[in-house]
Amino acid sequence: MTRTRKAGQSPLLGIFGGTFDPVHHGHLLVAQDALESVPLEKVIFVPAARNPLKGWQPAASDRHRLEMVRRAIEGVERFSVDPVELERGGPSYAIDTVAALQESHPQARFAWIIGADQLADLPKWHRFDELALRVTFLVLERPGYESRAPSGLPGHLRLEWLPSRALEISSSEIRSRCGKGKPVDFFLPGSVIQYIQNEHLYHHT
C-alpha cells in the first residue's frame, strides 16, 4: 500500500546510484517499487563515475551512460537523473553525493536505495557512520538474502525493508548479448536500445 507524506513533513527523495551500463527494465522497476512503497517525492538516478568497491571500469563512457538513463526515464515525472558523480569524477563516494544533493535540495530528506545483497558491504562505504546519519537506507529484498541487518552495523543506522519482485536482468548479460548480436528487445526500453544501436555500444564486449 502506498503511504502519503504527513502534513508539514519535508519531502523524501530517493537516491538510486549505480553504473547503469546500460540502464534496464530491472533498474526502472526497482525505482518504481521504491517510489510506490515509500512516500518518495521522486527518485533521483545517480550514475557512478567509478565504484570504489568494484575493480573494473564501465564499458560505456560517462556521456553514454548518462544519456541512456535520460532516455529511459524521459516523460516519467517523478524520475530524474543527476550527473553529480560524473561531474565530480574519481571514486564515487555516497557521502559526497549526499552532501551535494543536500546542498541543492536543502528542504529535503534523503533515502538511499540498495538491494539486500549490498547490506554486508555497507561498513566498507567511505565515512559510513556519517552517511548513516544523513540518510535512511531503503533495502529491497533479494532471494537468498535475509530480511534483517547483519551484525556490526552502527546502531543509528536507519533501514526500511521493501518488497521486491524477482526479475533476473543484469547489465553484464545485456552487454554480452549485444556483443554476440543477440536481441535485447525485452531487457531495455526501446529508446535505450535505439541509442545503443546508433552509438554502436557493447558490440565488442
Q: Tell me the three cell numbers of residue 155.
A: 546502531
> In 51-105, which residue ranges form alpha helices assigned H by DSSP?
62-73, 84-88, 94-104
Question: Could you tell me the CATH number of the domain that includes residue 89?
Answer: 3.40.50.620
Put simply, whether the predicted model's pTM sits higher than 0.75 gets the answer yes
- Looking at the domain assignment, is residue 136 inside a domain? yes
Question: Over its length of 205 residues, how does the chain's per-residue pLDDT go in tens digits?
Answer: 445 556 567 899 999 999 999 999 999 999 999 999 898 999 999 999 988 777 678 999 999 999 999 999 999 999 999 999 999 988 899 999 999 999 999 999 999 999 888 888 898 999 999 999 999 999 988 877 777 777 777 788 999 998 877 778 999 999 999 999 999 999 999 999 999 999 999 986 4
- Looking at the domain assignment, is residue 98 inside a domain? yes
- Looking at the domain assignment, is residue 154 inside a domain? yes
- Looking at the domain assignment, is residue 127 inside a domain? yes
**Domain span holding position 96:** 12-166
**H or E stretch at 88:** helix 84-88
Total count of domains within the chain: 1
Q: Are 10 and 40 in contact (CB under 8 A)?
A: no
Q: What is the DSSP letter of 200?
A: T
- Looking at the domain assignment, is residue 201 inside a domain? no
Report helix, strand or coil for 73.
helix
**Distance from C-alpha of 139 to C-alpha of 175, rounded to nearest angstrom:** 26
Report which residue type is found at 5. Answer: R
Q: Are 105 and 13 in contact (CB under 8 A)?
A: yes
